[in-house]
Chain A
Amino acid sequence: MIKKIVLFCIACMYAQLTFAQIDSTLLNNVIADTGKQTLNMDAVYNRPFLGIGKLPVSLGGYAEVNWQHIGTDGVSEGHQFQMRRMTLFVASTISKKIKFLSEIELEEGGKEISVEFASIDVEFHPLLNLRGGIVMNPIGSFNQNHDGPRWEFTDRPISATQMLAATWSNAGFGLFGKTYKNNWMFGYEAYLTGGFNDDIIDNEMNKTFLPAAKVSAERFEEGNALLTTKIATRHSKFGELGLSYMGGNYNTYKNDGIVLDEKRQLHVFAMDYNTTLPKINTTITGEWAWINIDVPSSFTQQYGNKQRGGFLDIVQPIFKRKILGWDKAVVNLSCRLEYVDWNVGTFNETGDNIGDNLWSVMPAISFRPTAQTVFRFNYRYQLQKDVLDNDPSKTGGFSFGISSYF
């Protein structure tokens, strides 16, 4: 039976059974093997899970704690201690080829609780799976592959959280599938889900801001349909390339059958890439996205109709050996480069460039006693320009954090 539960765990496709240190008869640690070749779309499956006794349910999760000391133009917030988030995974196999997966996130000390993911997956064929529930829209790579312990930086990429709305999930249905041939792997996903709302061009950020739609839980009940599709391919040597699109109407053009406005659309294109260089083992992960939004011309240019941005992470393991009793501990040197322009274009009045953009560079050193746990220490230097393109405000500071699956 125990063996069966383990098999049920979706992570088990790549799992190695290891012995939990506490009570190996009760807890079965199913460690995801991060070394195996997978696509970003597998991230929800490829997580360490814990089976408990004979229960047909496996549990998992991760937590992130941080300290930071960061300041902008001489104004420092001082020492800040943050329990950024705690995320719980619950998975079970309902019957053969039918699985349930969920991810519940508690942020800001439990003030914000959200169901990031909760779906029933039915496999008809490796190339044809049906997924229904609250799904993670596969735009770019970070949205699906966002677990803290996978990254060498205390903060999530700004383009992902402040532009693309990570972690962006919606109620909906879709299909996905995957196939292999020699060194090639190919996957696709297509979902129809709930979507964005008027808040993206009417919010307290004073800019076109996709994450503003996350605030309203109404999107799980009613609202606009959003199509998200992604194709990804991986070559064992060259790495993985993903192309994704997300789009649909975003505004309330009709309520109770009464027409209030014309339909307005939003389109997001993203490209993501990751690879590990042979011999030196450098990992390169990047994502770039373009957003086009139909903002009414009578509204203010404060809210942009074009956005773009992305990040590039370079992670270099500098040594891998036994450290303080951990057998395969790794120390990485990394750097993240980020750019976001929330308002691409020029002012109607002057033809001058609209600002509202940000540059950031973040060198980091991280220590992984095991693949599931990371201690990371970052320095961030960031330049952010206001909408009028005035001299940027400068932000800089350090952060230290621990992120671990449990």
Chain B
Amino acid sequence: MPNLTIQYMFKQLKPTYIIVSILISSIVFLVACSELEPAAPADEDILDGPLEGLTNAQSAQFLAGDIAFNDEIFTKDKGLGPVFVATSCGSCHAGDGKGTPFTTLTRFGQVDHTGNKFLHLGGPQLQNRSIPGFNPETIPTGATFSKFTPPANTGLGFIELVPDSAILALSDPNDMNGDGISGVPNWNTVPSYVDILENAISQNGKYICRLGKKASTFNLLQQTVNAYNQDIGITSTFNPIDVYSGHSIDPEVSDKTVRDVVAYLQMLKAPIQRETENVEIENGKNLFIQIKCAACHVPQLQTDFSIISALSYKTFYPYTDLLLHDMGSDLDDGYTEGSAKTYEWRTPPLWGLGLSPGSQGGKYFLMHDGRAKSIEEAIEMHGGEAAQSKNNFQQLSATDKEKLIQFLKSL
């Protein structure tokens, strides 16, 4: 009899137990569930993300630009092509990191400062892909060409704000200091839609340009307008010429979107150096300076005034002088832009270098066309003005080389 009562009690209690345990576990769940989701990678391990200290309004524009840059995919209906290289900015600049041979651009038709002689045959950029029913471009016979692998595009807001005077101060066209390293800016014409800053320095109607492998682009607006036009086949009011027909057509991207993308690029944070406390890395940095890498890859620059206070008068660490250098005949592709020589290349910023494999499919594709498959290979390819520095590197002991490379990977 008592047994039966107990059984009966259990029978009665069971649903209550079930209900109570469901309620309790649901509450625990609702509170804890975000803890069980994959964590964010550390800020220092990724390239994309906004500057610290943006206002809410700036953050909103950053987000609008982020969406346009990464998520807006161009289709035939939205104006893609008809000839193009890729379907969105983000297709080539994944995670705002460097690209791969798949996303590499080909440019052709210019051998010196007198300009591109193949504009009527599709120059300067090869649109090697086309929507169905159209034929992509091919490189015209007689045209020399070069391949450009997408660079990382973080921290460009800082780079855009380095005053011309600072760039000129770093240049040494006649190698007055006798270190074998000269360095010249790229003087180029600037399209009329670009607002020239008051402190810009000009020479015969040309301005100091700083973006791109040949430093032939003036600022982020010009870079963005060109990218839409030449890389995706998208016209804008800034550049209404269709790459395929050569005629002006209706704008396929709005001014607002272009401005948002520019703002996004300006407000992307600078890459954050990792393992700064590590002595090996500190030693590596000293070696970098000692063997004259830093003569071109200048560690530190300053910005001028900006209405974005997070960018205004800031010191930053890009490891570039934004100047062109003779890199020797092996890196001479016979193609150029602006006033650069075919063998001259702009010193690429080295910040973010160690994060390159994160967007290059786990590999390295370094130098302008991705020909170097490791950092060491990239250094070995330095010639011309950088030959002495390269030789210095070769003289280093294996452990010192290792320290230098570790330092570069920490950037």
A residues touching B (Cβ–Cβ < 8 Å)?
A: 69-76, 78-79, 198-199, 201-206, 251, 260-261, 264, 296, 298-302, 323-324, 347-350, 352, 355, 379, 386-391, 394-398
Interface of B is mostly: loop
A206 and B37 contact, CB distance less than 8 A: no
Distance of B32 from chain A, by nearest CB (Å):
10
Complex: A299 Cα to B133 Cα, angstroms:
10
A198 and B94 contact, CB distance less than 8 A: no
**Chain A residue at smallest Cβ distance from B90:** A206
21 interchain pairs (CB within 8 A)?
Answer: A69-B33, A69-B34, A78-B34, A198-B76, A198-B132, A201-B132, A204-B75, A205-B73, A206-B73, A260-B133, A264-B132, A296-B132, A298-B129, A298-B134, A299-B129, A301-B102, A350-B100, A350-B101, A352-B361, A389-B362, A395-B38
Judge if B205 is at the interface, Cβ distance under 8 Å.
no
User: Interface digits, B346-380 against A, CB 8 Å rule (1 contact, 0 not)?
Assistant: 00000000000011111100000000000000000
B102 and A388 contact, CB distance less than 8 A: yes
Distance of A376 from chain B, by nearest CB (Å):
14
A79-B30, A204-B75, A388-B359 known; A73-B41 Cβ under 8 A: yes
A299 and B130 contact, CB distance less than 8 A: yes
B residues touching A (Cβ–Cβ < 8 Å)?
A: 15, 18, 29-30, 33-34, 36-41, 73, 75-77, 80, 84, 86-88, 91, 94-95, 100-104, 129-136, 358-363
A388 and B360 contact, CB distance less than 8 A: yes
A73-B41, A74-B38 known; A206-B100 Cβ under 8 A: no
A350 and B102 contact, CB distance less than 8 A: yes
The interface residues of chain B lying within 8 Å CB-to-CB of A347 are 100-102
Distance of B81 from chain A, by nearest CB (Å):
10
Distance of B18 from chain A, by nearest CB (Å):
7
The interface residues of chain A lying within 8 Å CB-to-CB of B358 are 390-391
Interface of A is mostly: loop
11 new A-B contacts, CB < 8 A, other than A73-B41, A323-B18, A389-B362, are A69-B37, A76-B34, A79-B30, A199-B75, A302-B91, A347-B102, A350-B100, A388-B359, A388-B361, A390-B95, A390-B362
B36 and A396 contact, CB distance less than 8 A: yes
The interface residues of chain B lying within 8 Å CB-to-CB of A389 are 361-362
Complex: A324 Cα to B11 Cα, angstroms:
10
B361 and A71 contact, CB distance less than 8 A: no
Complex: A349 Cα to B136 Cα, angstroms:
17
**Chain B residue at smallest Cβ distance from A259:** B133
A203-B75, A390-B95 known; A71-B135 Cβ under 8 A: no
**Chain B residue at smallest Cβ distance from A71:** B37
A71 and B34 contact, CB distance less than 8 A: yes
Distance of B40 from chain A, by nearest CB (Å):
2
The interface residues of chain A lying within 8 Å CB-to-CB of B135 are 298
B15 and A72 contact, CB distance less than 8 A: no
Complex: A348 Cα to B104 Cα, angstroms:
12
A74 and B40 contact, CB distance less than 8 A: yes
Which of B37, B131, B362: most chain A CB closer than 10 A? B37
A74 and B95 contact, CB distance less than 8 A: no
The interface residues of chain B lying within 8 Å CB-to-CB of A72 are 38
**Chain B residue at smallest Cβ distance from A349:** B101
The interface residues of chain B lying within 8 Å CB-to-CB of A352 are 100, 361, 363
A74 and B73 contact, CB distance less than 8 A: no
**Chain A residue at smallest Cβ distance from B136:** A298
The interface residues of chain A lying within 8 Å CB-to-CB of B86 are 300, 302
List of 4 A-B pairs having minimum Cβ-Cβ separation, nearest first: A74-B40, A71-B37, A394-B38, A349-B101
Complex: A350 Cα to B365 Cα, angstroms:
11
Distance of B324 from chain A, by nearest CB (Å):
27
Complex: A348 Cα to B101 Cα, angstroms:
9
A347-B102, A390-B95, A396-B36 known; A261-B75 Cβ under 8 A: no
Complex: A48 Cα to B58 Cα, angstroms:
55
The interface residues of chain A lying within 8 Å CB-to-CB of B104 are 349
A386 and B15 contact, CB distance less than 8 A: no
The interface residues of chain B lying within 8 Å CB-to-CB of A349 are 100-102, 104
B91 and A298 contact, CB distance less than 8 A: no
The interface residues of chain B lying within 8 Å CB-to-CB of A203 are 73, 75
From A70, A261, A350, B133 is in contact (CB under 8 Å) with: A261
From A251, A300, A390, B87 is in contact (CB under 8 Å) with: A300
Distance of A136 from chain B, by nearest CB (Å):
28
A261-B133, A388-B102, A390-B94 known; A202-B33 Cβ under 8 A: no
Distance of B74 from chain A, by nearest CB (Å):
9
B73 and A204 contact, CB distance less than 8 A: yes
**Chain A residue at smallest Cβ distance from B34:** A76
The interface residues of chain A lying within 8 Å CB-to-CB of B38 are 71-74, 394-396
Complex: A264 Cα to B131 Cα, angstroms:
13
Complex: A300 Cα to B33 Cα, angstroms:
40
The interface residues of chain B lying within 8 Å CB-to-CB of A348 are 102
B33 and A398 contact, CB distance less than 8 A: yes
The interface residues of chain A lying within 8 Å CB-to-CB of B360 are 388, 390
B36 and A397 contact, CB distance less than 8 A: yes
A261 and B30 contact, CB distance less than 8 A: no
Complex: A261 Cα to B134 Cα, angstroms:
9
From A71, A74, A261, B132 is in contact (CB under 8 Å) with: A261
A299 and B36 contact, CB distance less than 8 A: no
Complex: A199 Cα to B95 Cα, angstroms:
26
